[in-house]
Amino acid sequence: MTHRKQPYSLSKLPDSILKRGSEASKLLEEHLEKGSIIRVISHNDADGLSAAGVVARAISSRNGQFHISILSRLRKEFIKKLGREKYSLFFFCDMGSAYLEEISRLKADIIVADHHQPSEFEADSNVVHVNPHLHGLDGSRDLSASGAAYLATRNISRNTGQLALVGALGDMQYSDGFTGANRFIMDEAIEAGVLQVHSDLKLASRYTEPLYRSIAYTFNPPLPGLTGDIEASKGFLERIGVSYGIKYADISPEEKDILRDELSRINPDIFGEVFTSREFQPAVGDLSDFAGILDACGKNRKYGIGIGLCLGEGEGALEVGLELQKNYREELIRGLAWIRREGSTVMENIQYIYSEDRVFKGIMGTIASISLSLKLLNPDIPLLGLSRMDQHVKVSARTTRPAVERGVNLGAALRDAASSFGGTGGGHDIAAGAMVPYRDMESFLQLVDEITGAQIKS
């Protein structure tokens, strides 16, 4: 059964963001006509990798050339280094909005397609800045970086909307439907024939894993009691009499009905819109699965594999991607078990978890999110995940939509608190990060606690 909501009316999307996107496309077009090699810089998560994929595909559609660098974060020194490169167009994705001043100084044309809260600095005339926050849209819900990249290249190629939504799914922007510009992109992708939407159970890896693993690996929407717990998933399937050793895609219609009823009892959101693209092989044809594989590629620094998958490269890349995902999921399950065991330390307005285990460093943000959505920890209190890195502490903070509605803005809290200790921080209201000196960890936590308290009261 195909399932579509009302088309998102063009008039509901601010015209100004489409205009800004068109300016970016025009600039890119001019450079492609001159034969410039486009320098693309993007982030190492699913959204960043798919954003780079969107841009690379647009460039390839004009037989142009690109040189991509994938980074965990943008540093001022890196921007300085770019200043010594001879490229005439730099295309920043999923980063750059907080560094407009430094970026503006590059003696080249620049496109920034980002969705983070931007700095106050007005970009210079050499910069075309595509960011939802500049147009009254919410960068943690209405548009991801890959969506911003889609809008920035839309006049060159409209065949990449499905990839833009891979990034949005990776950044957890889907909740009970796509909103804002994501909705607009969804409709354009359906029109372009690159996206199919149908109603089904939103289970992970339905084409590649046995059902009990699919259920245990379904992190979003969460299935409390089953998510992250392979034995519990097996037990559940045995209890309801559904064969657990075969793939969801292969079970009988009767079993699918039983499963739907039983899982909906645990979380009604488990049944709903599923996004697929026939353009990709089945294992990544489900866009949420695609996002999961890209995340695993990013966490393991296999950026070439991730970009290759976005460009539609074959079996070899997929095999590696699936293997990386397997390991990554095992790490997530270990991380969640650790949180279940240890719990968090609760302050007045925030709670935190702390680890010196190097494995957790890369997954802290993800397990923090999941532990709130699974209610392993109290979802009413913003959560900071702290990982020791020699002399520094890496911070990943997550909260929930209701807490944001009460005034919490983790991006602002972490930016301000980190800057008091010579660190850096920022991000979105609902998800943010920071790096601070280890010796200041206690004082940093106190300050974030105070700032968050003030945000809720004001």
The site for ligand C5P (CB under 6 A) is made up of 43, 45, 47, 73, 94, 116, 140, 171-172, 365, 369, 396, 398, 424-428, 430-435
In the complex with ligand C5P, the residue whose CB is nearer, 32 or 149, is 149
- What's CA 286's distance to the chain center, in Å? 16
Provide the minimum distance between the beta carbon of 123 and ligand C5P in the complex, in angstroms, as a whole number: 18
Smallest separation (angstroms) from ligand C5P to the CB of 249: 26
Nearer to ligand C5P, 31 or 135 (CB): 135
Q: CB 369 → ligand C5P: shortest distance, Å?
A: 4
Q: What string of DSSP letters covers 91-151? A: EEES--GGGHHHHHTSSSEEEEE--SPPPSPPPPTTEEEE-GGGGT--TTTT--HHHHHHH
Q: Which is nearer to ligand C5P, 281 or 419 (CB)?
A: 419
Q: How far is the CB of 184 from ligand C5P (least distance, A)?
A: 19
Buried b (16+ CB within 10 A) or exposed e, 319-328: ebbbebbeeb
What gap in Å lies between CA 24 and CA 201, rounded to an integer? Answer: 38
Report d(CA 419, CA 100) in Å as an integer. 18
Q: In whole angstroms, what separates CA 332 from the centre of its chain?
A: 16
- Closer to ligand C5P at the Cβ: 318 or 430? 430
Q: How far is CA 440 from CA 128, 368, 421, 445, 451, in A?
A: 38, 22, 7, 9, 16
Provide, rounded to whole angstroms, the least separation between the CB of residue 414 and ligand C5P.
7
Residue with Cβ nearer ligand C5P (13 or 148): 148
Which H or E element spans position 344? none
Q: Is the peptide bond before 132 cis (omega within 30 degrees of 0)?
A: no
Residue type, 65: Q
Kindly state the smallest distance separating residue 426's Cβ from ligand C5P, in Å. Answer: 3
Residue 243, number of CB atoms within 10 A of its CB: 14
Nearer to ligand C5P, 135 or 299 (CB): 299
Give whichever of 349 and 396 is closer to ligand C5P, judged by the CB atom.
396
- How far apart are alpha carbons 119 and 98 in whole angstroms? 5
What is the arrangement of strands in the sheet containing 345-346, beginning at the earlier edge strand?
Answer: 345-346, 351-355, 383-389, 392-398, 431-437, 424-427
For the CB of residue 424, give the shortest distance to ligand C5P in the complex, in Å.
4
426 φ/ψ sector (left φ>0, alpha ψ -120 to 50, else beta): left
Shortest Cβ distance from residue 298 to ligand C5P (Å)?
A: 10
Nearest distance in Å: CB 366, ligand C5P: 7
* Local structure of 433: helix, strand or coil: strand
- Rounded to a whole number of angstroms, the minimum distance from the CB of residue 48 to ligand C5P is 6
Indicate the residue among 32 and 310 with the shorter CB distance to ligand C5P.
Answer: 310
Q: CB–CB of 375/351 below 8 Å?
A: no
Is 64 or 385 the residue whose CB approaches ligand C5P more closely?
A: 385
Could you tell me what percentage of the chain is helix, strand and coil, using 3-state DSSP and rounding each to the nearest 5?
50, 15, 35
The candidate with the shortest Cα–Cα distance to 42, out of 119, 94, 78, is 94
* Of residues 159 and 424, the one with the C-beta less far from ligand C5P: 424
